[in-house]
């Protein structure tokens, strides 16, 4: 396997620590197969669940809303095939979130666009 295709995952045994993932090349040098994202929005809970639904890892998954000040519990993360992540969104001033304008994408996945 070429270095442009390698993903290394480090985890700890015996104590609680986050998993760390490393690539052996800079993002522009990676050879990433196209990933597919499944996106589920729960407006009542103000959460978005993103799943790498295809056979490829999704690199740097990014959620975007065209509203300043939105707080994301997580953003710019990687997902292995079949892995999911739920992100909570909120605005500190309690403003309603423009869910119809939500965009979710990754370096190697086409952007998912909210309801239009």
CA 63-36-116 angle, 5° bins:
55
| Phi and psi torsions of 27, nearest 5° | -50, -40
The pLDDT mean for the chain works out to 93
Q: What's the rounded Cα separation, in Å, for the pair 6 and 24?
A: 6
pLDDT tens string 8-42: 989 888 888 888 899 999 988 999 999 999 999 99
Given its phi and psi angles, is residue 60 left (phi above 0), alpha (psi -120 to 50 degrees) or beta? left
This prediction has a pTM of 0.89
* Cα-based torsion angle of the residue sequence 66, 68, 69, 73 in order, rounded to the nearest 10 degrees: 20
């Amino acid at each position: 396997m070429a270095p442009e295709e390698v993903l290394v995952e480090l985890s700890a045994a015996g104590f609680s620590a986050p998993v760390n993932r490393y690539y052996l090349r800079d993002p522009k040098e990676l050879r990433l197969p196209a990933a597919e994202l499944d996106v589920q929005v729960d407006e009542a809970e103000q959460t978005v669940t993103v799943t790498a639904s295809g056979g490829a890892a999704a690199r740097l998954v990014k959620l975007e809303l065209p509203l300043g000040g939105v707080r994301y519990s997580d953003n710019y993360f990687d997902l292995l095939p079949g892995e999911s992540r739920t992100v909570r969104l909120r605005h500190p001033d309690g403003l309603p979130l423009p869910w119809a304008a939500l965009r979710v994408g990754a370096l190697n996945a086409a952007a998912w666009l909210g309801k239009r």
